[in-house]
Amino acid sequence: MSGSALIHPFSVLAQHENEFIKIVSGEGVMLRDDAGNEYIDALASLWLCQIGHGNRTVIDAITAQLDQLQTYNTFAPFSNGPAVEVAEMVRARSQHPDGRVFLGCSGSEAVDTVLKFARRVHQLRGDVDRQIFVRRTGGYHGVNVGGTSVQGLEPIRTGWGDLLPHVVEIPNDDVEPAAQLFAEHGDRIAAVISEPIQGAGGVIPPPDGYFEGLRRLCDEHGALLIFDEVICGFGRTGSWFGGQTFGVTPDMFTFAKGVTSGYLPLSGVVVSREIAELMESDPEKFMHGYTYSGHPTACAAGVANIGVIESEGLVEQASHIGTKMEEGFRALQGDGMLAGYRGLGAIWAADLGYDAAETREAFLKRGVISRPVASALMFCPPLVISDAEIGQIFDRLEDAIRATSPVTA
């Protein structure tokens, strides 16, 4: 018996509720549990809390919106101010400042939406046989049926019966197999979907020239390039969006998480002007949307959060965090305590060279929350983290590695 009704995501369901850590409050990068233990949130919850916990500006904006209008839908003929404003703020900072923005709740909803949009674009172009989605090994795109189908993490894909047909996988480290795929099936490929930096798969940046190659292949063969910016968006890589960091423009991209720093659920899809015009030319009504698309309170959180990211210079801060973290990883590697490290801006992985689960537990006991993926620990701290707090992360990481490493112990 698990001891509670609650089913935890990505958990062993027989695990007892008492074994979970109950987080009760947060301030900045710090969290506190119900036993009074304090933690540095080195993963920003799940890759999302750019502005840190307890930000008064965003709390006040949410509260003010709740006082006025808590909820209302944006299905025709209705609209609301915060939804219009947050859509404008997102596109203005993106590579498609004249594009259009669809709003949902979760990253998974944004992914399923963008996949449907890709198919629709080709149907509107009269290219009805373009159904293939190309996914990358190691990619994570949420857990709705579409996202599950296009993710490149096999254990998450299996065990659910048949998923979407017409999905083909390419390696994440070499563009040549993609070129071969396009040469053979280019006229049937609807879109390639990729995170700018693969997050849940283990913080894997693209090889040099990889995205330029994908962009070229898509252009040559009439397919769409989709970036899933659910983790990389809103400053994480040192630009507003990962596509800007890598200098490659997708036709459409998803966002979620950092748009509200997770204070309330909000996600979306940005489409280019060209796609917007194609969709606007559709004589049929647009038959897609969620009850919570454009939820006014979630959107008010987004407006305030983007304002905080801007006024506190957090996009630029991500690059500074990157410099500090790289220094820390380099030093640990120099001392023989890491097999390697990878990342950029404020998203990193430290490769221990052995299964990271035990070191993660030791790290947690020392008051730092990170996430293990195979032999690596993931880092994605709030963008408000100070140099002193980064220093504490590295001190405790060193200590945790010393306590658990089969090499140094």
Ligand X SMILES: Cc1ncc(COP(=O)(O)O)c(C=O)c1O
Quote the least distance from Cβ 257 to ligand X, whole Å: 7
Contact 30, 381 (CB under 8 A): no
259 scored as a contact of ligand X (CB under 6 A): no
CB of 140 to ligand X, least distance (A): 5
Q: Which amino acid is at 93?
A: R
Nearer to ligand X, 82 or 147 (CB): 147
**Which of residues 50, 80, 95, 108 is near ligand X by CB under 6 A?**
108
> Within 13 Å of residue 325, how many CA atoms lie on the same side as its CB?
25
Piece in contact with ligand X (CB under 6 A), picked from 60-68, 184-192, 224-232, 330-338: 224-232
Q: Are 302 and 259 in contact (CB under 8 A)?
A: yes
d(CA 342, CA 356): 15
Host H or E run for residue 396: helix 387-404
Contact map string, positions 156 to 195, toward ligand X, x by CB under 6 A: ---------------------------------------x
Least Cβ distance, residue 290 to ligand X (angstroms): 12
Which residues between 111 and 140 bind ligand X (CB under 6 A)? 111, 140
Instruction: Name residues contacting ligand X, limited to 9-68 (CB under 6 A).
Output: 46
In the complex with ligand X, which residue's Cβ is closer, 244 or 392? 244
Name the nearest CA neighbour of 166 among 146, 142, 140, 183.
Answer: 146
Q: Which lies closer to ligand X via its Cβ, residue 202 or residue 328?
A: 202
Exactly one of 52, 199, 233, 302 binds ligand X (CB under 6 A); that residue is 199
CB of 256 to ligand X, least distance (A): 5
- Identify which of 95, 51, 85, 378 has the alpha carbon closest to the alpha carbon of residue 227: 95
Which of 269/303 has CB closer to ligand X? Answer: 269
Residue number, 61 or 111, with CB nearest to ligand X:
111
Contact pick of 52, 104, 107, 205 for ligand X (by CB under 6 A): 107
**Is residue 23 within 8 Å of residue 12, measured between CB atoms?**
no
48: number of Cβ within 10 Å:
23
Find the helix or strand (DSSP H, E) in which 85 lies.
Answer: helix 81-92
DSSP annotation string for 266-310: -EEEEE-HHHHHHHHT-SS------TTTT-HHHHHHHHHHHHHHH
106, 237, 260, 404: which one contacts ligand X (CB under 6 A)?
106
Count of all residues that appear for the chain in the document? 409
Give 408's contacts (C-beta < 8 A, 6+ positions apart): 336, 337, 401, 402
C-beta separation of 305 from 135 below 8 A? no
Q: How far is the CB of 108 from ligand X (least distance, A)?
A: 3
Q: What are phi and psi of 9, to 5 degrees?
A: -60, 145
Of 228 and 389, which CB lies nearer to ligand X in the complex structure?
Answer: 228
Nearer to ligand X, 43 or 362 (CB): 43
Q: Return the residue of 44, 191, 200, 349 that touches ligand X, per CB under 6 A.
A: 200
Residues forming contacts to ligand X in the complex (CB under 6 A) are 46, 106-108, 111, 140-142, 195, 199-200, 228, 230-231, 256
